[in-house]
Structures are given as C-alpha cells and as structure tokens.
C-alpha cells in the first residue's frame, strides 16, 4: 500500500521505517536516507529453532548493507539515527562487521556523507569504561566522509542546507552558543535547517531527553530515532513566562527493523495467529521469514512443525474457560457454606461440652473467623 507523502515547505517525506527525506534547494533535489535504530549485537534466541540461530542477526546486516547504498545520484547523506549497537559493549565481531559495511559503502560513494549518531544504548553508565562505540569512533576517525557524532554540531552539507546533529546527552549539553548559530542560519531565508537526534517523546517518559525548544523553533524539520515505531510526533512546549505555546513537528524514523510484536503493527516480521486458524496456512511455507506467536489455550498442542524465524505460544483465556473458572469458584464457595452450616448444626447437638466452650465454637463458625 502506498503511503502518503508529507511536505513541510521544501522538504518531502513518507512516515515509514528508515524514511528518505527529499529536500529542494535552489531548485535542485537532494535526498537524505535515514536509518532507524539498528541494535547490532542484539541476541535473538527466544523460540528460535536450532537450525535458524543466527539468521535474524544476518538479516540485520543484509538490510543495513542495502540502506547504506545510495538510492540514486541525488543522495547526499545517510544518517544512522542512534543505538547502532544494542548495548555499550558488544562482541568485536559485531564491531568488525559494521566497520566492514560502512567503510566499503563510504569508499564506493565518496560524495555521500555517512553520519552516525550515538544514542542511549551505546553509552556506558561508567564514564571511564571504553565502549564498543568508542572503539568504532577511533577506527573511523580518518575516513573523510564518515562523521561519528560525539558532540553537537552544525554541518552545511550543500549550500543553503544545514544539518544540526545532536549528541545524546540526558544531562542536556545544548548551549547558548548553538542557539546563536541556529538563529544566524535562519536569518537567511534561503537556508533550510533539519535537526537530527535521539530523543524521547512525552508519551513514553516525563523525565527524558527531548529536543530543546530552540531546536524546534529554528528547524524546518526535526528527525529522531529512539522510538521504534515510525510516526509523526508534535512536541508541545509552553513558555512559562510568556504563556506562548510552541509546537514542533518531528519525524520519528522507527527502528531499522521491528524487534518485537508491539513494535510491528504492520506485521512485517512479527505475526500473531489464533490456534484455531492454523489450518488456513501452509505451515512449511507461509512463515519462513516471520516471527510467529500463537494465541492458544493451556491445553494446546502443535500438531505439526512451523517453519519460521521464531515460535512462541501465548496462553489466552477464552470466554468458555473464564465461565468454567467462575463456576468452579462459585461451587467451591457453595460447598464451603454448606459445610459451615452442617458444622453449626452438629455443634448445637453437643451434650457433654461446657456451655462457654460450646458457645465460643458456635461464634467462630457463625462469624467464620476461623477462616482468618
């Protein structure tokens, strides 16, 4: 299904994973390829058949290689939107695999700028610890058309097209100097400013890392990774002194691939099937490139194997099972009540028991305090 093309001034884009921005500058079209959170080094093992281990990791590299290649000669930049690695320290093989991909792409496309944002996953909570991202930065520092962003910067990638590149910093590294720079850029009406970062949204956390109000006010468009579902998002700031509301539209690029059922509303990789609908499918062919989840009851047994990337079961309580549970609860309660009344009647017939003891026992039974 074709997605709607959105347009802000001279910038066009489609809300989807890894969107391409088309920017018209002085009547010339330039393209910027974005790549959402990659998460190399992520382990895919849950529900994965033994003979399929490693396939999902390989698919990440294959897709990444495709996205690093320019779509055509108008592509001037490829921007990785953060969280290149799944954690601060990944295996050296993961670093080597990415190094090989990015350096080959950069060598084959010398006129394209490759820009790598950092993100929260690649950072270590211990400032003294060397991370895999630190090692990658050192390995790539002499490659002219690769820019690993480790500080906030503004790049004029072609005349009149400026990119603000935000370095992830939950302690807010944005300075007044940068505000002046952005302000000066926008004084020239011929200039276009697009800002890129790895920002939270207010829906996910109230105390996260957000684009500064000045970034939103000066930018023609802001683009963010971090959130794994592609969308358009509007930040709504209200100036406490003036009461003026600032609304900044941001394009969320999503992750490079979906990494869970909740991140895949379009069912590109993750699909959920009801157990009573399995007979509609060819289980050896239809799900070869899918992560399958079966909604079933607690007694479900899979009658034949499914050829898929991963398989998990989710036990879902049916209405019939819920009625049975409630009926059982009511039955137990009824039996308990009948048993209690029978005990009371029995105690009342006791003859050779002291009156006080007998009365205490009857009070216990009638008030059911023995159940406490």
Domain check: are 215 and 299 in the same one? no
Number of domains within the chain: 3
> Does residue 307 belong to any structural domain of this protein?
yes
User: In the beta sheet, which residues pair with residue 70?
Assistant: none
pLDDT in tens, 151-167: 899 999 999 999 999 99
Domain check: are 273 and 187 in the same one? no
259 contacts: CB under 8 Å, gap ≥ 6: 39, 42, 228
> Does residue 262 belong to any structural domain of this protein?
no
pLDDT in tens, 29-53: 999 999 999 999 999 999 999 999 9
pLDDT in tens, 119-142: 999 998 887 889 999 999 999 999
Residue 117's domain comprises 5-252
Domain check: are 127 and 16 in the same one? yes
> Does residue 285 belong to any structural domain of this protein?
yes
With 0-12 / 13-18 / 19 or more C-beta atoms within 10 angstroms meaning exposed / middle / buried, residue 98 is buried
Alpha carbon distance 78, 64 (integer Å): 11
Domain check: are 337 and 307 in the same one? no
Residue 107: closest CA among 136, 66, 144: 144
Mean pLDDT across 3-22: 92
pLDDT in tens, 166-209: 998 877 656 666 788 898 999 999 999 999 999 988 765 556 78
206 or 252, greater pLDDT: 252
| Predicted local confidence at residue 350, as pLDDT | 65
Alpha carbon distance 203, 179 (integer Å): 26
Domain check: are 238 and 284 in the same one? no
Q: How confident is the model at residue 325 (pLDDT cuts 50, 70, 90)?
A: very low
Q: How is residue 19 annotated by DSSP?
A: P
Q: What is the mean pLDDT of the chain?
A: 86
Residue 363, SS3 per DSSP? helix
Domain check: are 220 and 121 in the same one? yes
> Does residue 246 belong to any structural domain of this protein?
yes
> Does residue 258 belong to any structural domain of this protein?
no
CA-based max dimension of the chain: 109
4 or 333, greater pLDDT: 4
Cβ atoms within 10 Å, residue 30 = 17
Domain check: are 126 and 164 in the same one? yes
pLDDT in tens, 107-122: 999 999 999 999 999 9
């Amino acid at each position: 299904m074709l997605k709607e093309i959105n347009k802000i001034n001279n910038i066009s884009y489609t809300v989807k994973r890894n969107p391409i921005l088309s920017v018209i500058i002085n009547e010339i079209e330039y393209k910027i390829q974005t790549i959402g959170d990659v998460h190399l080094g992520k382990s895919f093992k849950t529900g994965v058949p033994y003979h399929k281990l490693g396939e999902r990791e390989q698919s990440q590299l294959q897709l990444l290689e495709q996205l690093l290649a320019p779509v055509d000669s108008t592509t001037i930049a490829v921007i990785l939107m953060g969280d290149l690695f799944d954690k601060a320290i990944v295996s050296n093989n993961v670093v080597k695999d990415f190094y090989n991909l990015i350096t080959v792409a950069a060598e084959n496309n010398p006129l394209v700028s490759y820009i790598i944002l950092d993100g929260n996953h690649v950072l270590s909570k211990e400032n003294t610890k060397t991370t895999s991202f630190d090692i990658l930065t050192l390995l790539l520092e002499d490659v002219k058309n690769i820019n690993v962003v480790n500080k906030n910067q503004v790049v004029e990638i072609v005349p009149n097209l400026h990119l603000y590149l935000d370095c992830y910093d939950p302690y807010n590294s944005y300075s007044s100097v940068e505000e002046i720079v952005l302000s000066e850029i926008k004084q020239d009406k011929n200039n276009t400013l697009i800002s890129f970062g790895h920002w939270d949204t207010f829906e996910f956390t109230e105390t996260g890392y957000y684009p500064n109000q000045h970034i939103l006010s000066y930018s023609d468009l802001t683009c963010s990774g971090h959130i794994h579902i592609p969308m358009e998002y509007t930040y709504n700031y209200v100036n406490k002194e003036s009461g003026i509301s600032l609304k900044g539209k941001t394009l969320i690029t999503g992750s490079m691939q979906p990494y869970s059922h909740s991140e895949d509303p379009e069912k590109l990789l993750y699909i959920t099937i009801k157990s009573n609908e399995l007979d509609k499918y060819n289980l050896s062919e239809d799900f070869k490139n899918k992560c399958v989840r079966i909604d079933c009851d607690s007694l479900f047994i899979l009658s034949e194997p499914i050829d898929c990337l991963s398989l998990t079961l989710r036990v879902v309580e049916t209405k019939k099972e819920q009625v049975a549970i409630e009926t059982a609860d009511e039955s137990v309660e009824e039996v308990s009540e009948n048993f209690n009344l029978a005990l009371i009647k029995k105690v009342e017939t006791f003859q050779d028991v002291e009156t006080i003891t007998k009365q205490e026992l009857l009070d216990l039974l009638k008030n059911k305090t023995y159940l406490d």
